[in-house]
Amino acid sequence: MIARRLLQLVDDDPTCHDRHMSSKAQRLIADAVITCRAAVEVHRPGFIDVDADGRVKRSGSLADAPPTEDAVTRMSGLLMPGLINSHAHGPMTLLRGVGDGLPLERWLTEAIWPREGKLAPGDVAAGMLLASVEMLLAGVTASCEMYFADDELLDAVDASGGRVMCTPGVVGVAHLANFYEPTGRLAEIATLHASRHEPEGRLRVGVAPHSAYDLPLAVVDDLAGLARDLDCPLHIHIAETGDEGRDLEEVHGKRTVEVLAERGVLDGHVLAAHGVWLNDAEVELFASHGTHVAHCPKSNLKLGSGVARLHDLITAGVNVGLGTDGVASNDDLDLWQELQLAPLLARGTSGDPTRITAEQALLMATRRGAEAIGMPDTGTLTPGSWADIIRVDLSQPAFTPIITDDDLVDRLVFAGGSRYVTDTWVAGQRVVEAGVSTMVDTETALADAQARAERLAAAV
């Protein structure tokens, strides 16, 4: 009810919708094109037709391409959908690696939150700009962000040319005191959605309670209600560590996922970050509610949180994307590492090399991740989807020899990496060209982040 009342208060501004960068209709031809439709689909050689709005008109094997009057660009290498980072806290680039070696609770309360408390909106903007550039250079074209100073975060992604699902974070220590007031976080999120959300654009807005262990359940309920009313994703940390649900379990006699399911929190589009410590019943609850999971294997390994039951989640029918988490616990935004770790861990911990194929992993990093973050119009080169494309240089030892289509998919996952990404397009516009951002003066962005991080370190 509260969510609905707020929605009536903040008027929708239609002039802010459907804004995106313009580009010219063009045909891209490459040695190989991967489309990531229902299956990965390899076309050698392949083509992608992009319309003037920056959407894919058609894609496939060059032999099937109809005649075109659009500008044609031929290139060597592979064109494929940009990768999707389904769980990140981009502005934490200013805190890269901070608190290494501490367990999660102490890491949050002693290292991270005291520093985040000192972040000014300008710091968040600088941190997000650095994060956006880092991701675009690595071929990651969209991310799902949980943070604060949301306007600045959106502006930074906009400046970089990237795509974002910005889910304003709600954290107990920062937002509970005046949560329901007209100037509180609940109203702030509804206002942000009304003023900045572009239903089909590069900048979209969701909702993000940090976790059920950090916030009163009533607050989680109201945020879930707001997300359902806005028809946007609810992004929440669930079961990252084995201990985090203990207090909830003592009070309710049930585990976190069961409590959330009973309260209706899982009824909308829910993206659960981590999902490491789930029992069979919780995996089933995720599957029956259509809950999406952001699998963050590197962050989980670095913080010693464990290894998620990826194979069990997928077997149960849960949609899983890949996430880096924040760079304080990673320490980078290079999703190619998660792409490689996900199948390696699933196989290594089970002793079963048939678990998580290269194709499954690649789909998690692209189309499935896009679905998880509520942006199914990216992560694939299906007609109508956004032309968010990356070029991978195949003239490298890591990609030699390639005999079959399966070889290419296998090499991308197990031998590939961000170092082979040369160019990135978002909505048909080339935002990285030959390894250089066309949108941001990277040297200045790095210097600004460095100076701000130094001031922050001195203040804590």
Calculated CA dihedral for residues 133, 137, 138, 141, nearest 10 degrees: 70
DSSP state of 99: T
Q: Which is nearer to Zn ion, 46 or 90 (CB)?
A: 90
Nearest distance in Å: CB 188, Zn ion: 20
Kindly give the residue spans of alpha helices, DSSP state H, lying in 81-120: 104-106, 113-116
Q: Which is nearer to Zn ion, 84 or 394 (CB)?
A: 84
Rg of the chain, C-alpha, whole Å: 21
Nearest distance in Å: CB 163, Zn ion: 19
Nearest to 101 by CA among 328, 313, 298: 328
Give bridge partners of residue 166 from the DSSP assignment: 145, 205
Q: Which is nearer to Zn ion, 107 or 336 (CB)?
A: 107
Give Cα 29 to chain centroid, integer Å.
28
Q: Which is nearer to Zn ion, 31 or 145 (CB)?
A: 145
Nearest distance in Å: CB 265, Zn ion: 18
Nearest distance in Å: CB 428, Zn ion: 31
Nearest distance in Å: CB 272, Zn ion: 11
Q: Which is nearer to Zn ion, 325 or 423 (CB)?
A: 325
Give bridge partners of residue 211 from the DSSP assignment: 237
Give the end-to-end CA distance of the chain in Å, rounded to a whole number.
Answer: 40
Nearest distance in Å: CB 389, Zn ion: 28
SS3 letters across 35-73: CCCCCCCEECCEEEEECCCCEEEEEEEHHHCCCCCCEEE
Q: Which is nearer to Zn ion, 104 or 432 (CB)?
A: 104
**Helix, strand, coil content of the chain in percent (nearest 5):** 45, 20, 35
Nearest distance in Å: CB 273, Zn ion: 5
Q: Which is nearer to Zn ion, 161 or 169 (CB)?
A: 169
Q: Which is nearer to Zn ion, 36 or 236 (CB)?
A: 236
Applying CB under 5 A, which residues contact Zn ion?
A: 325
Nearest distance in Å: CB 168, Zn ion: 14
Cα 61 to Cα 69: distance, rounded to the nearest angstrom: 18
Q: What are phi and psi of 49, to 5 degrees?
A: -95, 125
Residue with tokens 């592979």: 78
Q: Which residues of 357-389 are buried (b: 16+ CB within 10 A; e: fewer)?
A: bbbbbbbbbbbbbbbbbbbebbbbbbeebbbbb
Which residues lie below 8 Å from residue 256, measured CB to CB, with a gap of 6+? Answer: 212, 213, 238, 239, 244, 245, 248, 249, 282
Nearest distance in Å: CB 11, Zn ion: 32
Residue number with the smallest Cβ distance to Zn ion: 325
Q: Which is nearer to Zn ion, 305 or 378 (CB)?
A: 305
Nearest distance in Å: CB 89, Zn ion: 6
Q: Which is nearer to Zn ion, 214 or 325 (CB)?
A: 325
H-helix or E-strand containing 322?
Answer: strand 320-322
Nearest distance in Å: CB 70, Zn ion: 41
Q: Which is nearer to Zn ion, 80 or 189 (CB)?
A: 189
In contact, 320 and 364? CB cutoff 8 Å: yes
DSSP state of 107: I
